[in-house]
Amino acid sequence: MLIAIPSDTTDGLDAAISEHFGHCAAFTLVAVADDAIGEISILENSGHEEGGCMAPVTLLKERGVEVLLAGGMGGRPLAGFQQVGIEVHYKEDANTVREAVELFVSGGCRVFGEAQTCGGGEGGCGGHGHDHHHEPETVPIQGKADIRDGRMVTVEYELEDANETLLDSSSETGPMRFIFGAGHIFPAIEQALAGLEREAHVDVAVSVAEGFGERDENRVIDVPRAQLPPNVAAGTMVSAQDQQGQQISLMVVHLDETAARLDGNHPLAGKDLVFKLTVKSVEGIKEVES
């Protein structure tokens, strides 16, 4: 099994885990066999110049990665990893590559779900903000505090579907907080926010194609209840193996005593969305702007 961990440095097992997926310096690749750590290699992160936030998905798939251990990730790359068969797990409290891999091998890393998705659950907005355990230190901006690359942005939001049904709100899950230009939000939202200042408001339409893509009913399967862990419940994420032997993540959408229905689509797949955004703060990051 080949595991990838987004890393801030190239120090192998001692590398610090990057809290900003897709904006990391490199991916540390760790081969694991029979629960033992084997060969270590470093894959430079090519960034988002070509392929947008999906570029790391393609990069890691081409290298044969089967599992990714991450601390924060937007909904779109998460859906991409699920589509190509790379299983994504939450790195929990691990700070280094070694800690994350050892925790995963011992069964301590949960399958990545909405609660870990950047902006999902703890961070709000179904996968478009960021909620980091080790957020970089911010500093006041001298001069015009507008939104631009490398600045920390905090945004309150309401998320609606095309029928104006409220799907999510920062009043329930907390604001989105992310580094602008790091690929943590959809390009349509990033374009709409660029140049705005504190208290600015904007409504952004994100089409199915620009968002989580169309639903694929072939990704909905029924399985015997006995195949699932005894403590699983509707709404939780589980991992499974597809016909090609690749690990995929699915949500339990129905459960009874004998059967379960699992959905491999993102919960917002197939929906045209409207994000109603209000900028609450724009800050510099100490290592970038001081």
What is the pLDDT confidence band of residue 123, given thresholds at 50, 70 and 90?
Answer: very low
| For residue 125, pLDDT beyond 50 | no
Looking at the domain assignment, is residue 171 inside a domain?
A: no
**Is residue 134's pLDDT more than 70?**
no
What does the CA dihedral 69, 132, 185, 180 come to, rounded to 10 degrees? -120
CA distance 242 to 244: 5
Pairing of strands 166-169, 220-224: unpaired
| Alpha carbons 214 and 60: distance in angstroms, whole number | 23
Query: For residue 13, is it within any domain?
Result: yes
Give residue 47's pLDDT: 58
pLDDT level of residue 137 (50, 70, 90 thresholds) = confident
Instruction: State the residue for tokens 């990704």.
Output: 219
Is pLDDT larger for residue 47 or for residue 112? 112
Final residue before a domain boundary, out of 55, 75, 105? 105
For residue 100, tell me if it sits in a domain.
yes
* Residue 68 forms part of a structural domain: yes
Domain-embedded: residue 155: no
- The CATH number of whichever domain residue 226 belongs to comes to 2.40.10.330
* Overall domain count for the chain: 2
Q: What is the pLDDT of residue 97?
A: 94
End-to-end CA distance of the chain: 42
Q: What is the pLDDT of residues 191-204, one digit of tens each?
A: 999 999 999 999 99
Residue 8: pLDDT over 80: yes
At residue 68, the pLDDT reads 92
**191 within domain boundaries:** no
pLDDT at 219 > cutoff 80: yes
CA angle 276, 114, 259 (to 5 degrees): 130
**Percentage, residues of the chain above pLDDT 70:** 80
pLDDT bin (cut points 50, 70, 90) of residue 188 is very high
Domain end call among 88, 105, 122: 105
Domain range for 239: 217-263
Q: What is the pLDDT of residue 11?
A: 87
CATH number at residue 63: 3.30.420.130
Per-residue pLDDT, averaged over 253-258, amounts to: 89
Which band of pLDDT confidence, cut at 50, 70 and 90, is reported for residue 111? confident
pLDDT above 50: residue 34: yes
Q: CB-based burial of residue 50 (10 Å sphere; 0-12 exposed, 13-18 middle, 19+ buried)?
A: exposed
- Asked, for residue 23, whether it belongs to a domain, the answer is yes
**Whole-model pTM?**
0.55
Statement: residue 76 has pLDDT above 60 = yes
Whether residue 129 is predicted with pLDDT greater than 50 in this model: the reply is no
Spatial distance between the Cα atoms of 149 and 169, rounded to a whole number of angstroms = 25
Whether residue 289 lies inside any domain: the answer is no
